[in-house]
Structure 1
Amino acid sequence: MVATLVKLRFLLLANSLKKKPWQLVAVIIGALYGLGLLVGAVALLFALSFGSIEFARTVTVLAGAALIIGWTILPMLTSGIDQTVDSARLATFPIPLNTLVLSLAISGVLGVPGIVTLIAALATAGTWWKHPAAAIVAVVCAVVGVLTCVIGSRMLVALSSRIGAGRRAREAKGILIFVPLLLLGPIIFGLSQMFRDAPNLFPRIAEIVSWTPFGAIWAVPADVALGNPGRAALEFLIGVATLAALLLLWRWGLARALETPNRPAQSTSRARGLGLFGVFSGTPSGAVAARALTYWIRDPRYAQALIAVPLVPVLIFVYAGGNDNLAALNTVAPIIAVLLSMSIYTDVSYDNTAFALHLQSGVSGRADRTGRVLALAVFAAPISIGLAVASVAVSGTWQILPGLLGITTGVLLTGFGVSSFVSGRFVFAVPAPGESPFTSKPGGGVSLMLSTFATWSMVGILVIPEMVLAIVGFALDIPILGWLSLVVGILLGSGLMVIGIRQGGAILDRRGPDLLAKLQAHR
Structure 2
Amino acid sequence: MVARFLTLKLTLMGNTFRKSVWQTIGMIVASLYALGVVGMLLAGVVALGFLGDPGWAGLAITLGGALAVLGWWIIPIFAFGVDATLDPQRFTTFAIPRRTLLTGLAVAGLVSVPGIATVLLAIGASFAWLTEPGVLLVSIVGAVLGIATCVLGSRAITTVLAPVLESRRYREVVAIVALVLIVMIGPLVSWLSNGVEVTVGSGSETSTGAQLLPLFEQVAGVVGWTPFGAAWSLGSMAHDGDWVGLVGRLAVALGTVGLTWLIWDRALGRALVSPPAGGGGESKAKGLGAFGRVPASPTWAVAARTATYWLRDPRYSGSIAVVPLLPVIMYFAGQSTGSFFMLLATGPFVGWILGFSISNDIGYDNTAFALHVSSGVDGRTDRWGRAIPMLVAGPLVTAATVLASVWVADSWHLTLPLLGLGLGSLLVSTGVSCAVSARLVYPVAKPGESPLKSPQGAAMATIVSQGIGFIVTVGLALPVFAVGIAAIVVGGLLWGIATLVVGLLYGTLILVLAVRFGARVYDRRLPELLQQVQSFP
TM-score (norm 1): 0.94
Q: d(CA) in 2 for partners of 1:14 and 1:507?
A: 37
Alignment of 1:146-165 (within 5 A): 146-165=147-166
Comparing 8-17 with 35-44, which one deviates more in the overlay?
Answer: 8-17
The residue aligned with 1:436 is 450
Q: Check conservation: 1:421, 1:504, Cα contact below 8 A.
A: yes
The residue aligned with 1:405 is 419
2:320 to 306, 328, 341: 306
Q: d(CA) in 1 for partners of 2:298 and 2:17?
A: 37
The residue aligned with 1:184 is 185
Matched, 1:462 2:463: no
Q: Check conservation: 1:285, 1:371, Cα contact below 8 A.
A: yes
The residue aligned with 1:484 is 498
The residue aligned with 1:335 is 349
Q: d(CA) in 2 for partners of 1:268 and 1:230?
A: 56
2:372 to 350, 355, 358: 358
Q: Check conservation: 1:179, 1:307, Cα contact below 8 A.
A: yes
Q: Check conservation: 1:289, 1:372, Cα contact below 8 A.
A: yes
Alignment of 1:100-499 (within 5 A): 100-196=101-197, 197-198=199-200, 199=212, 200-265=214-279, 267-321=281-335, 325-326=339-340, 328-445=342-459, 447-499=461-513
Q: Check conservation: 1:428, 1:444, Cα contact below 8 A.
A: yes
Amino acid at match of 1:36: G
The residue aligned with 1:36 is 36
Please state whether the residue corresponding to 1:109 is helix, strand or coil: coil
Amino acid at match of 2:323: V
Deviation for aligned residue 1:248: 1.6
Label 1:323 to 1:307 Cα distance change in 2 as closer, same or farther (>3 A).
Answer: farther
Q: Check conservation: 1:428, 1:448, Cα contact below 8 A.
A: yes
Amino acid at match of 1:52: D
Q: Check conservation: 1:327, 1:397, Cα contact below 8 A.
A: no
Q: d(CA) in 2 for partners of 1:95 and 1:498?
A: 63
Comparing 110-119 with 135-144, which one deviates more in the overlay?
Answer: 135-144
Q: Check conservation: 2:65, 2:232, Cα contact below 8 A.
A: yes
Q: Check conservation: 1:17, 1:442, Cα contact below 8 A.
A: no
Identity rate, percent: 36
Comparing 394-403 with 63-72, which one deviates more in the overlay?
Answer: 394-403
- Per-residue CA deviations over 1:31-80 (Å, capped at 9, x if unaligned) read 22222211110111111112223222222111111110111111111114
Q: d(CA) in 2 for partners of 1:450 and 1:102?
A: 41
Q: d(CA) in 2 for partners of 1:517 and 1:92?
A: 36
Comparing 391-400 with 245-254, which one deviates more in the overlay?
Answer: 391-400
Deviation for aligned residue 1:450: 4.5
The residue aligned with 1:12 is 12
Please state whether the residue corresponding to 2:438 is helix, strand or coil: helix
The residue aligned with 2:205 is none
Q: d(CA) in 1 for partners of 2:442 and 2:87?
A: 23
Deviation for aligned residue 1:272: 2.8
The residue aligned with 1:91 is 92
Please state whether the residue corresponding to 2:164 is helix, strand or coil: coil
Comparing 440-449 with 303-312, which one deviates more in the overlay?
Answer: 440-449
Amino acid at match of 2:22: W
Q: Check conservation: 2:81, 2:450, Cα contact below 8 A.
A: no
Label 1:51 to 1:514 Cα distance change in 2 as closer, same or farther (>3 A).
Answer: same
Q: d(CA) in 2 for partners of 1:513 and 1:357?
A: 12
Label 1:231 to 1:389 Cα distance change in 2 as closer, same or farther (>3 A).
Answer: closer
Comparing 106-115 with 473-482, which one deviates more in the overlay?
Answer: 473-482
Deviation for aligned residue 1:324: 5.8
- Per-residue CA deviations over 1:191-246 (Å, capped at 9, x if unaligned) read 22333314332111111111111111111111212223332232222212211211
Q: Check conservation: 1:350, 1:431, Cα contact below 8 A.
A: yes
What 5-or-longer segments of structure 1 have no aligned partner? none
Please state whether the residue corresponding to 2:131 is helix, strand or coil: coil
The residue aligned with 2:206 is none
Paired residue total:
523
Q: d(CA) in 2 for partners of 1:94 and 1:231?
A: 44
Amino acid at match of 1:457: I
Deviation for aligned residue 1:455: 2.1
Label 1:10 to 1:500 Cα distance change in 2 as closer, same or farther (>3 A).
Answer: farther
Q: d(CA) in 1 for partners of 2:110 and 2:535?
A: 28
Q: d(CA) in 1 for partners of 2:154 and 2:391?
A: 41
Amino acid at match of 1:146: I
CA RMSD after TM alignment: 2.1
Q: d(CA) in 1 for partners of 2:229 and 2:348?
A: 44
Label 1:89 to 1:487 Cα distance change in 2 as closer, same or farther (>3 A).
Answer: farther
Q: Check conservation: 1:414, 1:496, Cα contact below 8 A.
A: yes
Deviation for aligned residue 1:420: 1.2
Q: Check conservation: 2:445, 2:454, Cα contact below 8 A.
A: yes
Q: Check conservation: 1:58, 1:203, Cα contact below 8 A.
A: yes
Q: Check conservation: 2:20, 2:457, Cα contact below 8 A.
A: no
Deviation for aligned residue 1:449: 4.2
Please state whether the residue corresponding to 2:357 is helix, strand or coil: helix
Q: Check conservation: 2:169, 2:280, Cα contact below 8 A.
A: no
Q: Check conservation: 2:351, 2:394, Cα contact below 8 A.
A: yes
Label 1:472 to 1:14 Cα distance change in 2 as closer, same or farther (>3 A).
Answer: same
Amino acid at match of 2:176: I
Q: d(CA) in 2 for partners of 1:471 and 1:93?
A: 68
Label 1:266 to 1:7 Cα distance change in 2 as closer, same or farther (>3 A).
Answer: same
Deviation for aligned residue 1:367: 0.7
Q: d(CA) in 1 for partners of 2:451 and 2:325?
A: 18
Deviation for aligned residue 1:86: 2.3
Label 1:125 to 1:273 Cα distance change in 2 as closer, same or farther (>3 A).
Answer: closer
Q: d(CA) in 1 for partners of 2:10 and 2:429?
A: 40
Label 1:390 to 1:503 Cα distance change in 2 as closer, same or farther (>3 A).
Answer: same
Deviation for aligned residue 1:21: 1.0
Amino acid at match of 1:385: A
Alignment of 1:1-80 (within 5 A): 1-49=1-49, 50-80=51-81
Please state whether the residue corresponding to 1:183 is helix, strand or coil: helix
